[in-house]
A and B are shown apart, each in its own frame.
Chain A
Amino acid sequence: MIVFKTFLKILKKNIGIVALYTVILVAFGGFNMKTSDNNMNFQDSQPSIYIINQDDHFITENLIQYMSKQCKIVKLSYDKNAIADALFYREVSYIIRIPQGYGDDFLNGKNPQIVIESTGDYESSYADMLLSRYLNVANLYQQIYDDGKVIIHKINETLALQTDIKMATQVDTTQLSQATFYYNFMNYSLLAGCVYITCLILSSFREEAISKRIAISSMNTKKHQLILLASNSLLALFLWLIYVLLSFILVGQVMFTVHGLFYIFNSFIFTICSLTLAFLIAHLVSNKNIINGIVNVVALGSSFLCGAFVPIEYLPDIVLKIAHILPSYWYIQGNEWIETVETFHLISLKPFFVNIGIVLVFALVFIVMSHVVVKRNNG
């Protein structure tokens, strides 16, 4: 009990850091959770655009109305720098400049020019398609009709034609992808939390004066080690439990389904692996001052490489190939797999259990390695 009490004492001193990793998880995890009511119906993607209109004409008005219906018009202060910044930081992906006299020139068949600026991403490509379609339709009707009102009526009538669209899936994909994001991000918080705390506590126990004091005490070394292991496991479990509870609050409904159960199971296995890795590192490192650096390199490094921060599909192939040697990769692959599965049956579960198995193998390797290191240290 004395060992456990000391353990808690040291933990209490450093609770701030653990809280910090939790706050980071909640901040980033929560930041990504947009409120979503009903996602079983199809919703058009709406690119964010900004329109600078210098013309006062009903023709221009109709164009703006059409774009407003199809896109999200972002409100910006009318300042050159503010608009430029908004484009750079992707608050808007497409800027349309309608010059003075546009409406009149259009009616006179001059096919006047519209200046745009775009970020070049898919949102802007779609906005570009929308604008081109409107202008093309407008030009064709302008060639046969003279009356502006008739032209507008015809344009709107044509552009109102819609296709019937249906969603095939019965699973709420938005919530699932939010859950995946949260559990992927947990890779960072779990690793950082486990490694930091374990290293700090074990190194405190290994300070020369303290380890000498322990050595002459009546307690069996093996028992002492075992209690430390149990205390650390308890802490890791506690950390995992808090993160899982938080996921119920942040992600919501989907956590109560079978999908949620799989996310929780996957993260539990990964917690075991993080704990063993933390033990290995703690036995390798005895200098307290470099613990922070190690935590950053291990947790940040594997999170960046394996797709905890940046979605896997955005990572270069070479990075993903390297990532295969890290347990985080297999954990995150497991989460990604859960997101895509619609129904769970025995055959479809195979890839998931392969991932779980690999994470467990990693854990085993870490245990064996720490054993070797401990033996060497004692020798």
Chain B
Amino acid sequence: MGNHFKYALKILFRKKILIFWTFAFPILLGTFFQMAFSDIEKNEQLDIINIAIINNDEFLQNEVFVRSFEQLSDDKSEEQLFHTDYVNEEEAKRLLANKKIDGYVLMADHQLQVVVGRSGINETILKYVTEEILQTDKIINDIIEYRLIQEIERNPTILENIDSASSQIYQDVFTAIKDSQANILDQSSHHLSYTMIEFYTLIAMTCLYGGTLGMTSINQVLANMSSHGKRISVSPVHKGRMILGSMMASYFTQLVGLLLLFIYTVFVLHVDYGSHFALVILLTCAGAFAGLSLGTAIGTLVKSNENTKTGIIISITMLGSFLSGMMGITMKYIVDKNFPIMNQLNPAAMITDGLYALYYYETFQRYYFDVISLLVFSGLMFFVSYISLRRQSYDSI
């Protein structure tokens, strides 16, 4: 069998175009993904928002507003939300038209007005902040009023010295507001980078794409596919061993391709596979096995030329990858949520989902379900191929 393995390997590696596309295409695609998606998540975080404030007298006299915007625009503070330009109205309009700012704030006739260019999150936050200032102002007044009434009820003489009393209360209220802290505990997972799914689908695609290798090897043995196959059919070798040797050679080639892809994604693209690397390897081996079985099944069941068989394998691979989120990550979620059976039968989704489960979930239930699904899928495919190959003989014509 060693010889069969060696020769099958030699034949595979001589097919330069096949090897190039199995090895290089995923790496190329991965590079595109990296270029396109590397900054997406960073850009989805809240950035400093550029705004302008009309610095008319009415604004400058309103201490609460001046102070609040100063605080929120302080570039040394961690809570900086805005980058603020203090300008006149003409200038603000010009800045807004040129998209240099998202909006500006105008104080006129004791009314606050926010002018924006469009509806969006930055504009909503600007509106939110101005409202918060108004609301805080109201809270301060409410509490001072309440406290003063209480104080006066308790000690009516305070009325004579109302100014100092209210300034004392104002100080208290101000400290209370500053100290007031909403008790929120953030328990978010650190593994929330959804662009990783793209790279997982890439692994899945490579695993299944490797099926073309298995198919090519099988074609070498089939008498109706190649002259090489005819020669083998009439030779006194054990066909089972022969096929096993070819299969192992294809599997080996697939694993080499995947290893290259892993090295590239981990060290160059910095893809995060979570902390259970051994399990990632196990899943990938099972995935490559599924790809091999798919290629073998198509190689034996479809009675057509090599190009058609390759076409079928590529179509199945691309459709599977599409459903597991390669062309849009949400696709996997939509299918998982609405038509779960589709992805439970889709080997590309099993691989992607297994990697996702390892990355995001703390338990292994989902992961093992995916590994077992892959093995069942492979078993089924191999069984079908076996039935078809068994006792195959050709009529004398």
Contact = CB atoms under 8 A, between A and B. Distances in A.
Interface of A: 28, 39, 42-45, 81-82, 84-85, 87-91, 111-123, 125-126, 128-133, 135-137, 139-141, 143-145, 154, 158-159, 161-169, 173-174, 289-290, 293, 296-297, 300-301, 304-305, 309-310, 313-316, 319, 340, 342
Interface stretch (B4-12, B109-117, B389-397): B109-117
A28 B331 CA distance: 12
Contacts of A158: 135, 138-139, 142
B23 to A, nearest CB: 13
A84 B183 CA distance: 23
Contacts of B192: 87-88, 119-120
B21 interface: yes
A313 B39 CA distance: 9
A165 B114 contact: yes
Interface string B85-104: 00000000100110100000
A131 B93 CA distance: 33
B189 interface: yes
Contacts of A313: 43
Given A144-B147, A168-B96, A120 B188 contact: yes
B28 A297 contact: yes
A114 B119 contact: no
22 contacts: A42-B127, A84-B360, A87-B192, A88-B356, A88-B360, A126-B46, A136-B182, A154-B142, A158-B138, A159-B135, A163-B114, A163-B130, A164-B111, A168-B96, A168-B97, A289-B307, A293-B21, A293-B25, A304-B33, A309-B36, A310-B37, A314-B40
A162 B131 contact: yes
B17 A290 contact: yes
A165 B328 CA distance: 35
A118 B134 contact: no
B269 interface: no
A45 B116 contact: no
Interface residues on B, range: 35 or more
B123 A42 contact: yes
A143 B139 CA distance: 12
Most buried by A among B17, B97, B192: B192
A158 B116 CA distance: 24
Contact of B121 (A123, A136, A316): A123
A39 B119 contact: yes
B32 A301 contact: yes
B333 A168 contact: no
A178 B71 CA distance: 37
A140 B180 CA distance: 7
A131 B182 CA distance: 8
A25 to B, nearest CB: 13
B124 A126 contact: yes
A85 B336 contact: yes
Contacts, number: 202
Contacts of A43: 119
Contacts of B142: 141, 154, 158
B45 A121 contact: yes
Contact of B117 (A28, A167, A316): A167
A45 B188 contact: no
Given A114-B184, A126-B121, A161-B138, A168 B17 contact: no
Contacts of B125: 126, 129
Nearest to A340: B99
Identify whether the interface residues of A are mostly helix, strand, loop, or mixed. helix
Contacts of A89: 194, 329-330, 332-333
Instruction: From A162, A309, A314, name the one whose CB has the most chain B CB atoms within 10 angstroms.
Output: A314
Contact of A315 (B36, B44, B113, B187): B36
The 3 tightest CB contacts between A and B, nearest first, are: A135-B182, A89-B333, A121-B44
Contacts of B120: 45
Nearest to A305: B35
A52 to B, nearest CB: 12
B111 to A, nearest CB: 7
A43 B120 CA distance: 8
A44 B127 CA distance: 9
B395 to A, nearest CB: 33
Given A28-B328, A126-B121, 6 more contacts: A45-B124, A89-B329, A115-B185, A120-B45, A161-B131, A168-B93
B32 A304 contact: yes
Given A122-B44, A126-B125, A169 B117 contact: yes
A125 B182 contact: no
Contacts of B43: 313-314
Most buried by A among B99, B117, B124, B360: B124
A136 B180 contact: yes
Nearest to B173: A140
Interface string B142-155: 11001100000000
B70 interface: no
A125 B45 contact: yes
B132 interface: yes
B364 interface: no
- Chain B CB count within 10 A is highest, among A114, A136, A340, for A136
Contacts of A289: 17, 307
Contacts of B36: 304-305, 309-310, 315, 319
Contacts of A162: 131
Interface in B245-261: none
Interface in B338-371: 356, 360-361, 366
A313 B47 CA distance: 13
B27 to A, nearest CB: 12
B177 to A, nearest CB: 7
A43 B115 CA distance: 13
A122 B118 contact: no
A129 B128 contact: yes
Contacts of B183: 111-114, 135
Interface in B181-230: 181-189, 192, 194
Nearest to B182: A135
